[in-house]
Amino acid sequence: MIDTFDLVIRHADVVTAADRFTCDIGVRDGVIAALGRNLAGGAREIDASGLLALPGGVDGHCHLDQPMPDGLRMADDFFTGTRAAVCGGTTTVIPFAAQEKGGSLRAAVDDYHRRAEGRAVVDYGFHLIVADPTEKVLREELPQLIREGYTSFKIYMTYDDLKLSDREILEVLSVAREHGALVMVHAENSDCIAWLTDKLVGQGRIAPKFHGLARPAAVEREATHRAITFAELVDVPILIVHVSGKEAIGQIRWAQGRGMQILAETCPQYLYLSAEDMNHPGDDGYAGAKCVCSPPPRDADNQEAVWKALKQGVFSVFSSDHAPFNYEDPQGKKPGGKPQSFEHIPNGIPGIETRLPLLFDGVRHGRLSIHQFVELTSYRPARLYGLYPRKGTIAVGADADIVLWDPEVRTTIRNAQLHHAVDYTPYEGREVIGWPVHCFSRGEQLVASGQYLAPAAGRGRFLPADAPSLV
Protein backbone atom coordinates (compact mmCIF):
# COMPACT_ATOMS: atom_id res chain seq x y z
CA MET A 1 0.00 0.00 0.00
CA ILE A 2 1.28 3.47 -0.84
CA ASP A 3 1.36 5.95 2.04
CA THR A 4 -0.75 9.03 1.51
CA PHE A 5 1.62 11.25 3.45
CA ASP A 6 5.34 11.40 4.12
CA LEU A 7 4.61 12.29 7.73
CA VAL A 8 1.54 12.30 9.93
CA ILE A 9 1.57 14.02 13.30
CA ARG A 10 -1.33 12.41 15.20
CA HIS A 11 -3.54 13.98 17.88
CA ALA A 12 -1.92 17.39 17.57
CA ASP A 13 -3.22 20.19 19.82
CA VAL A 14 -2.68 22.84 17.14
CA VAL A 15 -2.34 26.47 18.19
CA THR A 16 -2.08 29.32 15.70
CA ALA A 17 -2.29 33.08 16.25
CA ALA A 18 -6.08 32.80 16.07
CA ASP A 19 -7.23 29.18 16.53
CA ARG A 20 -6.85 26.08 18.62
CA PHE A 21 -8.05 22.65 17.49
CA THR A 22 -7.09 18.99 17.79
CA CYS A 23 -6.37 17.08 14.60
CA ASP A 24 -3.84 15.03 12.66
CA ILE A 25 -1.37 16.92 10.45
CA GLY A 26 -0.54 15.28 7.12
CA VAL A 27 2.68 16.39 5.42
CA ARG A 28 3.66 15.75 1.83
CA ASP A 29 6.73 17.13 0.02
CA GLY A 30 7.56 19.39 2.95
CA VAL A 31 4.18 21.10 2.92
CA ILE A 32 1.13 20.66 5.14
CA ALA A 33 -1.22 18.70 2.88
CA ALA A 34 -4.11 17.98 5.24
CA LEU A 35 -5.47 18.81 8.68
CA GLY A 36 -8.19 16.48 9.92
CA ARG A 37 -9.29 13.62 12.11
CA ASN A 38 -8.18 10.06 11.33
CA LEU A 39 -6.00 10.97 8.36
CA ALA A 40 -4.69 8.12 6.20
CA GLY A 41 -1.28 6.64 6.92
CA GLY A 42 2.09 8.29 6.64
CA ALA A 43 5.51 6.83 5.88
CA ARG A 44 6.38 8.22 9.33
CA GLU A 45 4.01 8.84 12.14
CA ILE A 46 4.46 10.61 15.44
CA ASP A 47 2.02 10.78 18.33
CA ALA A 48 1.73 14.33 19.67
CA SER A 49 -0.64 13.56 22.54
CA GLY A 50 0.04 15.85 25.49
CA LEU A 51 2.09 18.27 23.38
CA LEU A 52 1.21 21.57 21.73
CA ALA A 53 1.77 21.89 17.97
CA LEU A 54 2.86 25.45 17.16
CA PRO A 55 4.13 26.98 13.92
CA GLY A 56 7.91 27.15 13.95
CA GLY A 57 9.28 30.39 15.29
CA VAL A 58 10.37 33.16 12.95
CA ASP A 59 13.24 35.17 14.43
CA GLY A 60 12.97 38.50 12.64
CA HIS A 61 16.04 40.05 14.24
CA CYS A 62 19.27 38.12 14.74
CA HIS A 63 22.88 38.62 13.70
CA LEU A 64 24.85 35.71 12.24
CA ASP A 65 28.33 35.90 10.76
CA GLN A 66 27.91 39.62 10.22
CA PRO A 67 31.22 41.21 9.17
CA MET A 68 32.53 43.26 12.09
CA PRO A 69 34.96 46.17 12.31
CA ASP A 70 38.17 46.38 14.34
CA GLY A 71 39.12 42.74 14.75
CA LEU A 72 35.78 41.68 16.23
CA ARG A 73 34.13 38.42 15.20
CA MET A 74 30.70 36.95 15.73
CA ALA A 75 30.86 33.53 17.32
CA ASP A 76 27.93 32.11 15.35
CA ASP A 77 27.86 31.58 11.63
CA PHE A 78 24.85 30.32 9.66
CA PHE A 79 25.51 26.73 10.72
CA THR A 80 25.84 27.13 14.49
CA GLY A 81 23.30 29.96 14.60
CA THR A 82 20.57 28.07 12.76
CA ARG A 83 21.37 24.88 14.69
CA ALA A 84 20.75 26.78 17.92
CA ALA A 85 17.66 28.41 16.44
CA VAL A 86 15.93 25.14 15.63
CA CYS A 87 16.87 23.60 18.99
CA GLY A 88 14.95 26.52 20.51
CA GLY A 89 11.90 26.08 18.26
CA THR A 90 12.78 28.65 15.58
CA THR A 91 12.58 27.38 12.02
CA THR A 92 13.13 30.62 10.09
CA VAL A 93 15.76 33.28 10.75
CA ILE A 94 16.18 36.72 9.23
CA PRO A 95 19.65 38.15 9.89
CA PHE A 96 21.19 41.22 8.26
CA ALA A 97 23.24 41.80 5.14
CA ALA A 98 25.11 44.90 6.27
CA GLN A 99 26.42 47.56 3.92
CA GLU A 100 29.74 49.12 4.90
CA LYS A 101 30.16 52.87 4.65
CA GLY A 102 31.75 53.45 1.25
CA GLY A 103 30.70 50.00 0.06
CA SER A 104 27.91 48.74 -2.14
CA LEU A 105 24.70 47.27 -0.77
CA ARG A 106 24.62 44.71 -3.58
CA ALA A 107 28.13 43.56 -2.67
CA ALA A 108 27.02 43.12 0.95
CA VAL A 109 24.09 40.95 -0.17
CA ASP A 110 26.26 38.81 -2.46
CA ASP A 111 28.82 38.33 0.32
CA TYR A 112 26.10 37.39 2.79
CA HIS A 113 24.68 34.75 0.45
CA ARG A 114 28.13 33.19 0.28
CA ARG A 115 28.23 33.06 4.08
CA ALA A 116 24.82 31.36 4.29
CA GLU A 117 25.03 28.87 1.44
CA GLY A 118 26.00 25.37 2.48
CA ARG A 119 25.79 26.34 6.15
CA ALA A 120 22.17 27.10 7.12
CA VAL A 121 20.16 24.31 8.70
CA VAL A 122 16.79 26.12 8.54
CA ASP A 123 15.29 28.54 6.04
CA TYR A 124 16.38 32.15 6.09
CA GLY A 125 15.64 35.55 4.62
CA PHE A 126 17.79 38.67 4.72
CA HIS A 127 17.13 42.14 5.99
CA LEU A 128 19.47 44.81 4.68
CA ILE A 129 21.38 47.32 6.79
CA VAL A 130 21.65 50.62 4.93
CA ALA A 131 24.74 52.41 6.28
CA ASP A 132 25.62 54.62 3.34
CA PRO A 133 22.60 55.83 1.35
CA THR A 134 24.39 57.33 -1.63
CA GLU A 135 22.44 58.40 -4.72
CA LYS A 136 23.33 55.08 -6.37
CA VAL A 137 22.09 53.12 -3.36
CA LEU A 138 18.88 55.11 -3.08
CA ARG A 139 18.00 55.25 -6.78
CA GLU A 140 19.37 51.94 -8.10
CA GLU A 141 20.53 49.34 -5.60
CA LEU A 142 17.79 49.61 -3.01
CA PRO A 143 14.82 49.66 -5.43
CA GLN A 144 16.26 46.71 -7.35
CA LEU A 145 16.97 44.73 -4.17
CA ILE A 146 13.44 45.38 -2.91
CA ARG A 147 12.09 43.99 -6.20
CA GLU A 148 14.28 40.90 -5.72
CA GLY A 149 12.83 40.08 -2.29
CA TYR A 150 14.76 42.12 0.25
CA THR A 151 11.79 44.11 1.49
CA SER A 152 12.96 45.20 4.95
CA PHE A 153 16.00 47.13 6.05
CA LYS A 154 17.48 48.42 9.24
CA ILE A 155 18.91 51.86 9.81
CA TYR A 156 20.84 53.12 12.81
CA MET A 157 20.68 56.43 14.66
CA THR A 158 23.84 55.55 16.58
CA TYR A 159 27.22 53.75 16.10
CA ASP A 160 29.78 55.72 14.08
CA ASP A 161 30.19 53.05 11.41
CA LEU A 162 26.46 52.68 10.82
CA LYS A 163 24.52 55.78 11.81
CA LEU A 164 22.65 57.97 9.36
CA SER A 165 22.04 61.70 9.61
CA ASP A 166 18.47 62.91 9.99
CA ARG A 167 18.46 63.95 6.33
CA GLU A 168 19.69 60.51 5.26
CA ILE A 169 16.99 58.83 7.33
CA LEU A 170 14.34 60.89 5.54
CA GLU A 171 15.80 59.86 2.17
CA VAL A 172 15.75 56.16 3.10
CA LEU A 173 12.20 56.37 4.43
CA SER A 174 11.12 57.99 1.16
CA VAL A 175 12.53 55.08 -0.84
CA ALA A 176 10.73 52.64 1.47
CA ARG A 177 7.47 54.48 0.91
CA GLU A 178 7.90 54.60 -2.86
CA HIS A 179 8.80 50.92 -3.19
CA GLY A 180 6.73 49.38 -0.39
CA ALA A 181 9.47 48.28 1.99
CA LEU A 182 9.61 48.30 5.79
CA VAL A 183 12.30 50.25 7.66
CA MET A 184 13.48 48.99 11.05
CA VAL A 185 14.98 51.71 13.23
CA HIS A 186 17.63 51.43 15.95
CA ALA A 187 16.59 54.46 17.98
CA GLU A 188 19.24 55.92 20.29
CA ASN A 189 20.67 59.45 20.16
CA SER A 190 24.29 59.15 19.07
CA ASP A 191 25.60 62.54 20.25
CA CYS A 192 24.04 62.15 23.70
CA ILE A 193 25.69 58.75 24.06
CA ALA A 194 29.07 60.13 22.93
CA TRP A 195 28.84 63.05 25.37
CA LEU A 196 27.81 60.87 28.32
CA THR A 197 30.48 58.30 27.45
CA ASP A 198 33.23 60.93 27.39
CA LYS A 199 32.09 62.26 30.75
CA LEU A 200 32.00 58.81 32.37
CA VAL A 201 35.34 57.76 30.94
CA GLY A 202 36.86 61.09 32.03
CA GLN A 203 35.76 60.29 35.58
CA GLY A 204 37.33 56.84 35.35
CA ARG A 205 33.93 55.15 35.41
CA ILE A 206 34.67 52.48 32.83
CA ALA A 207 33.23 49.20 34.24
CA PRO A 208 30.54 47.42 32.18
CA LYS A 209 27.76 48.77 34.40
CA PHE A 210 28.47 52.29 33.11
CA HIS A 211 27.29 51.19 29.67
CA GLY A 212 23.76 51.61 31.04
CA LEU A 213 24.51 55.12 32.33
CA ALA A 214 25.86 56.15 28.93
CA ARG A 215 22.60 55.07 27.26
CA PRO A 216 19.80 56.12 29.61
CA ALA A 217 16.13 55.78 28.69
CA ALA A 218 15.88 59.46 27.71
CA VAL A 219 18.39 58.87 24.91
CA GLU A 220 16.19 56.10 23.52
CA ARG A 221 13.02 58.12 24.09
CA GLU A 222 14.31 61.12 22.16
CA ALA A 223 15.44 59.05 19.19
CA THR A 224 12.20 57.08 19.18
CA HIS A 225 10.24 60.32 19.05
CA ARG A 226 12.47 61.67 16.29
CA ALA A 227 12.05 58.50 14.21
CA ILE A 228 8.28 58.74 14.66
CA THR A 229 8.40 62.36 13.50
CA PHE A 230 10.33 61.36 10.37
CA ALA A 231 7.78 58.61 9.66
CA GLU A 232 5.02 61.18 10.01
CA LEU A 233 6.71 63.61 7.62
CA VAL A 234 7.30 60.94 4.99
CA ASP A 235 3.97 59.24 5.75
CA VAL A 236 5.39 55.75 5.95
CA PRO A 237 5.16 52.95 8.56
CA ILE A 238 8.32 52.11 10.53
CA LEU A 239 9.29 49.45 13.05
CA ILE A 240 11.19 50.53 16.16
CA VAL A 241 13.43 47.60 17.10
CA HIS A 242 14.63 46.34 20.49
CA VAL A 243 12.48 48.66 22.63
CA SER A 244 13.78 48.49 26.18
CA GLY A 245 11.20 50.11 28.46
CA LYS A 246 8.52 52.56 29.38
CA GLU A 247 9.99 55.78 27.99
CA ALA A 248 10.17 54.51 24.42
CA ILE A 249 6.92 52.60 24.86
CA GLY A 250 5.28 55.89 25.84
CA GLN A 251 6.32 57.44 22.52
CA ILE A 252 5.09 54.42 20.57
CA ARG A 253 1.74 54.40 22.37
CA TRP A 254 1.41 58.13 21.67
CA ALA A 255 2.01 57.60 17.94
CA GLN A 256 -0.25 54.56 17.73
CA GLY A 257 -2.94 56.53 19.58
CA ARG A 258 -2.74 59.16 16.82
CA GLY A 259 -3.44 56.45 14.26
CA MET A 260 0.13 56.15 12.96
CA GLN A 261 1.51 52.81 11.82
CA ILE A 262 4.41 52.73 14.24
CA LEU A 263 5.28 49.10 14.84
CA ALA A 264 7.53 47.92 17.63
CA GLU A 265 9.71 44.99 18.60
CA THR A 266 11.07 43.90 21.95
CA CYS A 267 13.38 41.08 23.04
CA PRO A 268 13.94 38.68 25.97
CA GLN A 269 16.68 40.83 27.51
CA TYR A 270 14.15 43.56 28.32
CA LEU A 271 11.95 41.10 30.21
CA TYR A 272 14.58 39.05 31.99
CA LEU A 273 17.77 41.15 32.40
CA SER A 274 18.32 44.40 34.22
CA ALA A 275 21.02 47.01 34.83
CA GLU A 276 22.00 44.93 37.88
CA ASP A 277 23.17 42.15 35.55
CA MET A 278 25.76 44.51 34.06
CA ASN A 279 27.08 44.94 37.60
CA HIS A 280 27.93 41.25 37.96
CA PRO A 281 30.53 40.64 40.69
CA GLY A 282 32.38 37.92 38.73
CA ASP A 283 35.74 38.59 37.10
CA ASP A 284 36.21 41.82 39.07
CA GLY A 285 32.90 43.18 37.85
CA TYR A 286 33.80 42.67 34.20
CA ALA A 287 31.47 39.66 33.80
CA GLY A 288 28.70 42.26 33.51
CA ALA A 289 30.01 42.59 29.95
CA LYS A 290 28.01 39.44 29.22
CA CYS A 291 24.84 41.53 29.41
CA VAL A 292 26.05 44.60 27.54
CA CYS A 293 23.68 45.29 24.67
CA SER A 294 22.00 48.36 23.27
CA PRO A 295 19.64 49.71 24.34
CA PRO A 296 20.73 48.37 27.73
CA PRO A 297 18.56 46.29 30.05
CA ARG A 298 16.88 48.64 32.54
CA ASP A 299 15.06 47.94 35.85
CA ALA A 300 12.13 45.94 37.23
CA ASP A 301 9.66 48.75 36.55
CA ASN A 302 10.66 48.80 32.91
CA GLN A 303 10.45 45.01 32.66
CA GLU A 304 6.86 45.27 33.90
CA ALA A 305 6.11 47.98 31.34
CA VAL A 306 7.40 45.73 28.55
CA TRP A 307 5.28 42.78 29.73
CA LYS A 308 2.22 45.02 29.88
CA ALA A 309 2.82 46.46 26.42
CA LEU A 310 3.29 42.94 25.03
CA LYS A 311 -0.05 41.88 26.48
CA GLN A 312 -1.81 45.01 25.24
CA GLY A 313 -0.61 44.63 21.66
CA VAL A 314 1.76 47.61 21.53
CA PHE A 315 4.44 45.26 20.17
CA SER A 316 4.08 43.38 16.91
CA VAL A 317 7.13 41.15 17.19
CA PHE A 318 9.33 39.51 19.79
CA SER A 319 12.81 38.79 18.43
CA SER A 320 16.08 37.60 19.92
CA ASP A 321 18.47 40.30 18.66
CA HIS A 322 20.98 37.44 18.94
CA ALA A 323 24.37 39.16 18.62
CA PRO A 324 26.85 36.42 19.44
CA PHE A 325 30.17 37.52 20.92
CA ASN A 326 32.23 35.20 23.08
CA TYR A 327 33.17 36.37 26.56
CA GLU A 328 36.64 34.81 26.77
CA ASP A 329 37.78 35.97 23.39
CA PRO A 330 40.06 38.78 22.19
CA GLN A 331 37.63 39.14 19.24
CA GLY A 332 34.62 39.19 21.56
CA LYS A 333 33.59 40.76 24.86
CA LYS A 334 37.25 41.15 25.87
CA PRO A 335 38.63 42.93 22.84
CA GLY A 336 42.39 42.57 23.01
CA GLY A 337 41.99 39.75 25.54
CA LYS A 338 41.75 41.97 28.61
CA PRO A 339 38.89 43.73 30.41
CA GLN A 340 38.20 46.97 28.56
CA SER A 341 36.43 50.22 29.20
CA PHE A 342 32.69 49.74 28.57
CA GLU A 343 32.80 51.77 25.38
CA HIS A 344 34.95 49.07 23.73
CA ILE A 345 32.78 46.09 24.72
CA PRO A 346 30.97 44.83 21.62
CA ASN A 347 27.25 45.40 22.02
CA GLY A 348 24.92 42.45 21.91
CA ILE A 349 24.15 39.18 23.64
CA PRO A 350 23.25 35.65 22.52
CA GLY A 351 19.64 34.48 22.68
CA ILE A 352 18.51 32.73 19.51
CA GLU A 353 17.86 29.40 21.28
CA THR A 354 16.39 30.80 24.49
CA ARG A 355 14.04 33.39 22.90
CA LEU A 356 11.01 31.13 22.66
CA PRO A 357 11.39 29.13 25.90
CA LEU A 358 11.75 32.38 27.87
CA LEU A 359 8.56 33.87 26.41
CA PHE A 360 6.72 30.55 26.64
CA ASP A 361 7.52 30.58 30.35
CA GLY A 362 5.69 33.91 30.45
CA VAL A 363 2.66 32.17 28.92
CA ARG A 364 2.84 29.49 31.59
CA HIS A 365 2.88 32.23 34.23
CA GLY A 366 -0.21 33.93 32.76
CA ARG A 367 1.61 36.94 31.27
CA LEU A 368 0.35 36.32 27.72
CA SER A 369 -2.04 33.99 25.95
CA ILE A 370 -0.64 31.15 23.88
CA HIS A 371 -2.16 32.84 20.80
CA GLN A 372 -0.25 36.04 21.58
CA PHE A 373 2.88 33.94 21.87
CA VAL A 374 2.38 32.57 18.36
CA GLU A 375 1.44 35.96 17.01
CA LEU A 376 4.55 37.71 18.39
CA THR A 377 7.09 35.02 17.60
CA SER A 378 5.90 33.50 14.33
CA TYR A 379 2.77 34.89 12.66
CA ARG A 380 3.48 38.64 12.76
CA PRO A 381 7.18 38.39 11.85
CA ALA A 382 6.22 36.14 8.94
CA ARG A 383 3.68 38.71 7.76
CA LEU A 384 5.85 41.78 8.30
CA TYR A 385 8.81 40.26 6.53
CA GLY A 386 6.86 38.94 3.56
CA LEU A 387 6.98 35.21 4.31
CA TYR A 388 3.33 34.54 5.15
CA PRO A 389 1.46 32.18 4.58
CA ARG A 390 4.41 29.95 3.73
CA LYS A 391 5.73 30.57 7.26
CA GLY A 392 4.01 31.69 10.46
CA THR A 393 1.04 29.34 10.67
CA ILE A 394 -0.18 25.77 10.57
CA ALA A 395 -2.50 25.60 7.57
CA VAL A 396 -2.89 23.52 4.43
CA GLY A 397 -0.34 24.79 1.91
CA ALA A 398 2.06 26.20 4.50
CA ASP A 399 5.55 24.78 4.89
CA ALA A 400 5.54 22.02 7.47
CA ASP A 401 7.57 24.03 9.97
CA ILE A 402 6.01 22.59 13.09
CA VAL A 403 7.25 22.57 16.66
CA LEU A 404 5.85 20.25 19.30
CA TRP A 405 6.12 21.81 22.74
CA ASP A 406 6.01 19.99 26.04
CA PRO A 407 4.16 22.65 28.07
CA GLU A 408 4.99 21.11 31.44
CA VAL A 409 8.66 20.19 31.38
CA ARG A 410 10.91 22.28 33.62
CA THR A 411 14.34 23.12 32.23
CA THR A 412 17.22 24.95 33.84
CA ILE A 413 19.02 26.88 31.13
CA ARG A 414 22.70 25.92 31.00
CA ASN A 415 25.08 27.12 28.33
CA ALA A 416 26.59 23.65 28.19
CA GLN A 417 23.26 22.38 26.83
CA LEU A 418 22.75 25.09 24.22
CA HIS A 419 23.73 24.73 20.57
CA HIS A 420 25.19 28.13 19.70
CA ALA A 421 28.96 28.64 19.52
CA VAL A 422 29.01 31.32 22.23
CA ASP A 423 30.82 30.53 25.47
CA TYR A 424 28.05 31.80 27.75
CA THR A 425 24.37 32.56 28.07
CA PRO A 426 23.12 35.53 30.10
CA TYR A 427 20.30 33.25 31.31
CA GLU A 428 22.55 30.64 32.98
CA GLY A 429 20.67 28.90 35.80
CA ARG A 430 17.22 30.33 35.00
CA GLU A 431 14.41 27.76 35.15
CA VAL A 432 11.67 27.82 32.52
CA ILE A 433 8.49 25.81 32.12
CA GLY A 434 7.90 24.42 28.63
CA TRP A 435 10.39 23.44 25.94
CA PRO A 436 10.23 22.66 22.21
CA VAL A 437 10.87 18.93 22.12
CA HIS A 438 10.27 17.96 18.47
CA CYS A 439 11.03 20.38 15.62
CA PHE A 440 10.26 19.93 11.94
CA SER A 441 11.44 22.12 9.09
CA ARG A 442 9.59 21.51 5.80
CA GLY A 443 8.54 18.15 7.25
CA GLU A 444 12.05 17.02 8.12
CA GLN A 445 12.55 16.33 11.80
CA LEU A 446 15.61 18.25 13.03
CA VAL A 447 15.06 17.84 16.78
CA ALA A 448 13.61 14.72 18.45
CA SER A 449 12.88 14.56 22.17
CA GLY A 450 15.12 17.59 22.63
CA GLN A 451 18.04 16.00 20.78
CA TYR A 452 19.50 17.70 17.72
CA LEU A 453 19.51 15.23 14.83
CA ALA A 454 22.38 16.84 12.90
CA PRO A 455 20.76 17.28 9.48
CA ALA A 456 22.86 18.25 6.48
CA ALA A 457 24.28 21.76 6.79
CA GLY A 458 23.03 23.72 3.81
CA ARG A 459 19.54 22.22 3.79
CA GLY A 460 18.18 25.64 4.78
CA ARG A 461 16.91 27.65 1.80
CA PHE A 462 16.94 31.35 1.09
CA LEU A 463 13.45 32.88 1.15
CA PRO A 464 12.93 35.96 -1.04
CA ALA A 465 10.37 38.13 0.74
CA ASP A 466 7.08 39.45 -0.60
CA ALA A 467 5.89 42.94 0.29
CA PRO A 468 5.38 43.49 4.02
CA SER A 469 1.89 42.85 5.42
CA LEU A 470 1.53 45.26 8.29
CA VAL A 471 -1.54 43.79 10.00
Which amino acid is located at 107 in the chain?
A
Of residues 91, 161, 84, the one with CA closest to residue 130: 161
The DSSP code for 313 is T
Among 247, 321, 361, 406, contact with ligand URP (rule: CB under 6 A): 321
Of residues 338, 258, 336, 266, the one with CA closest to residue 297: 266
What is the CA 116 to chain-centroid distance, rounded? 17
φ, ψ for residue 402, nearest 5 deg: -130, 135
Site mask for ligand URP (CB under 6 A), range 266-305, x = bound: ---------------------------xx-----------
φ, ψ for residue 415, nearest 5 deg: -60, -35
Among 323, 345, 394, 447, contact with ligand URP (rule: CB under 6 A): 323
Least distance between ligand URP and beta carbon 186 (Å)? 5
Least distance between ligand URP and beta carbon 66 (Å)? 8
- How many residues touch Zn ion under the rule CB under 5 A: the total is 2
Q: List C-alpha distances in Å: 363 to 80, 172, 307, 371.
A: 28, 38, 11, 9
- Helix, strand, or coil (residue 402): strand
For residue 83, the tally of other CB atoms under 10 A from its CB is: 28
Least distance between ligand URP and beta carbon 194 (Å)? 16
- The span from the CA of 281 to the CA of 271, in Å, is 21
Of residues 81, 32, 29, 28, the one with CA closest to residue 53: 32
- How many residues touch ligand URP under the rule CB under 6 A: the total is 9
Least distance between Zn ion and beta carbon 63 (Å)? 6
Residues 288-327 within binding reach of Zn ion (CB under 5 A): 321
What is the CA 471 to chain-centroid distance, rounded? 19
186 binds ligand URP (CB under 6 A): yes
Contacts of residue 322, defined as CB under 8 A and 6 or more positions apart, other chains included, come to: 59, 62, 63, 64, 76, 81, 348, 349, 350, 351, 352, 355, 420
- Helix, strand, or coil (residue 357): helix
Least distance between ligand URP and beta carbon 242 (Å)? 6
Nearer to Zn ion, 171 or 321 (CB): 321
293 binds, among ligand URP, Zn ion, none (CB under 5 to 8 A by kind): ligand URP
Nearer to Zn ion, 13 or 321 (CB): 321
Do residues 158 and 220 make contact, with C-beta atoms less than 8 angstroms apart? no
Site mask for Zn ion (CB under 5 A), range 138-177, x = bound: ----------------------------------------
Nearer to Zn ion, 9 or 219 (CB): 219
Residues 229-248 within binding reach of ligand URP (CB under 6 A): 242
322 binds, among Zn ion, ligand URP, none (CB under 5 to 8 A by kind): none
Buried b / exposed e across 132-162, counting CB within 10 Å, b at 16+?
bbbeebbeebbeebbeeebbbbbbbbbeeeb
Residues 347-406 within binding reach of ligand URP (CB under 6 A): 347-348
Least distance between Zn ion and beta carbon 346 (Å)? 12
Nearer to ligand URP, 13 or 321 (CB): 321
Least distance between Zn ion and beta carbon 187 (Å)? 9
Least distance between ligand URP and beta carbon 215 (Å)? 10
Least distance between Zn ion and beta carbon 350 (Å)? 12
Nearer to ligand URP, 341 or 411 (CB): 341
Nearer to ligand URP, 83 or 127 (CB): 127
Do residues 457 and 119 make contact, with C-beta atoms less than 8 angstroms apart? yes
Nearer to ligand URP, 186 or 355 (CB): 186
- The span from the CA of 206 to the CA of 214, in Å, is 10
Interface ranges with Zn ion (CB under 5 A): 186, 321
Interface ranges with ligand URP (CB under 6 A): 63, 186, 242, 293-294, 321, 323, 347-348
